[in-house]
Amino acid sequence: MHTELIYQLALTHVPNIGCVHAKALMAAFTSAKDVFTAKKSTLEKVDGIGPQKAECIKKFDNFSIAEHELAFIEKYKITPLFINSDQYPKRLLNCYDSPTMLYYRGDADLNAGKIIAVVGTRSNTEYGKHFTDSFIKELAAEKILVLSGLAFGVDTIAHKAALKNGLSTVGVLAHGLDNIYPAENTKMAKQMVANGGGLLTEFASGTKPDRHNFPTRNRIVAGMADATIVIETDLKGGSMITAEMANNYNRDVFALPGKTTDGKSKGCNFLIRNNEAALITSAHDFLEQMLWLPQPGKTKKVQRTLFVELTPDEKTIVDLLNEHEQLPIDELYLKSQLSTSAVAAVLLSLELQGLITSLPGKMYKLL
């Protein structure tokens, strides 16, 4: 196992091989070791690789960097999550640019049934703090996993509110797990790990919190969550980047409205005005829009397919929705093992036949 992990770690350090290329390689080969031992001519045939990138793989010999990282992982009991790991966040895996490797310290289920990201400005107002506190307090009964970036401001408020109300919370870092940034949040980070939450990053040990790492980090926050909640932000900044990424990943985005004269609310108001985020005023409002509230008058499922002739792909999707009350599109991709385009075509066909309906949060269920 250690040998394969060495190759997995090494793959993250090969020049010109990014996360998209790594995903293509792992789709073509059984293991990371197979990637390094394959012939150059075989590597060249992998989608997006070609001669130049194949040459980079064949020339790579700096395995000592992977061995160094393995020693760090073992010493500090870090869980490495390669893209083919069963524990890898499935929602994130369905994003085209999902990280090749994640480093995780904690016990929170990264594939929990309900996951939200709470983001916002580092210099929040009392209005933003009060809403974040009350919002997360009202979510306590739903056992939702709360993600944020461990930064000052809204991130810190969200993590602390989750801890206070017994919710697991995970901080997604823009640096390696050998340090905490900002240092003032070190105590809180330890509490998060100790209380069933965790710390997650795609950056190897020794990686500093450089400015360009933060937008990269934000895609993990957006990609792991069912919904991103933007509390306060100006028109530019990390929160706006996260909201844009969440929209690009077809995830739900919500924003707290504010005064038109308040600079801290300009970004939220912009997102709402341009239909890039739904307006929220309370946790109940949010839960209702996500269909996460108990549904009254639930009746037993009726088998509607007895009178409809389904294609094999349609039957696969219908069987999955029969088995589960409702499923997000990401789970349909994973469980059906159909291509993204095939699932999209089947869902459209089934909706037109009146057999399924789409729900907020990119969820689907049988009618």
Task: Give the integer Cα–Cα distance in Å for 246 and 253.
Answer: 7
How does DSSP classify residue 204? P
Same domain, 222 and 318: no
Q: At what angle do helices 154-164 and 186-194 cross, to 10 degrees?
A: 40
Q: Does position 244 have pLDDT exceeding 50, yes or no?
A: yes
Last residue of a domain, one of 256, 289, 322: 289
Looking at 168-182, 207-221, 288-302, 338-352, which range is the least confident one?
A: 288-302
Last residue of a domain, one of 255, 289, 323: 289
Q: What is the pLDDT of residues 142-185, one digit of tens each?
A: 999 999 999 999 999 999 999 999 999 999 999 999 999 999 99
Domain of residue 331, CATH code: 1.10.10.10
Q: What is the pLDDT of residues 307-322, one digit of tens each?
A: 557 888 888 999 898 8
pLDDT of residue 265: 95
Number of domains in the chain: 3
pLDDT of residue 330: 83
pLDDT of residue 245: 96
Residue 300 φ/ψ, nearest 5 degrees: -65, 140
pLDDT of residue 354: 81
Same domain, 115 and 161: yes
pLDDT of residue 306: 46
Domain of residue 185, CATH code: 3.40.50.450
Residue 98 resides in a domain: no
- List, as one string, the DSSP characters of 129-155: HHHHHHHHHHHGGGT-EEEE---TTHH
Residue 352 resides in a domain: yes
Q: What is the pLDDT of residues 105-119, one digit of tens each?
A: 999 999 999 999 999
Same domain, 17 and 113: no
Q: What is the mean pLDDT of residues 346-352?
A: 85
What confidence category does residue 295 fall into, taking pLDDT thresholds of 50, 70 and 90?
low
Task: Give the integer Cα–Cα distance in Å for 67 and 61.
Answer: 12
Residue 86 resides in a domain: no
Task: Give the integer Cα–Cα distance in Å for 284 and 324.
Answer: 24
Residues of the chain with pLDDT > 70, as a percent, come to 96
Same domain, 68 and 206: no
Same domain, 159 and 263: yes
What confidence category does residue 136 fall into, taking pLDDT thresholds of 50, 70 and 90?
very high
Chain mean pLDDT for the chain: 92
Residue 89 resides in a domain: no
Residue 225 resides in a domain: yes
Same domain, 228 and 200: yes
8 Å CB contact between 108 and 197: yes
* 76: number of Cβ within 10 Å: 12
Same domain, 167 and 213: yes
Same domain, 250 and 344: no
Task: Give the integer Cα–Cα distance in Å for 151 and 88.
Answer: 24
Residue 83 resides in a domain: no
Q: What is the mean pLDDT of residues 237-252?
A: 94
Same domain, 130 and 207: yes
pLDDT of residue 38: 96
Tokens found for residue 53: 């990138």
Same domain, 285 and 314: no
pLDDT of residue 300: 43
Task: Give the integer Cα–Cα distance in Å for 254 and 265.
Answer: 13
Last residue of a domain, one of 27, 56, 75: 75
Q: Does position 305 have pLDDT exceeding 90, yes or no?
A: no
- Give the domain extent around 48: 2-75
Q: Does position 78 have pLDDT exceeding 90, yes or no?
A: yes
Q: Which residue has the higher pLDDT, 330 or 111?
A: 111
Residue 273 resides in a domain: yes
Same domain, 285 and 319: no
Residue 87 resides in a domain: no
Q: What is the mean pLDDT of residues 259-269?
A: 93
Q: Does position 297 have pLDDT exceeding 60, yes or no?
A: no
Q: Does position 299 have pLDDT exceeding 70, yes or no?
A: no
Same domain, 129 and 254: yes
Q: What is the mean pLDDT of residues 293-313?
A: 61
Domain of residue 46, CATH code: 1.10.150.20
pLDDT of residue 301: 47
Total-model pTM? 0.81
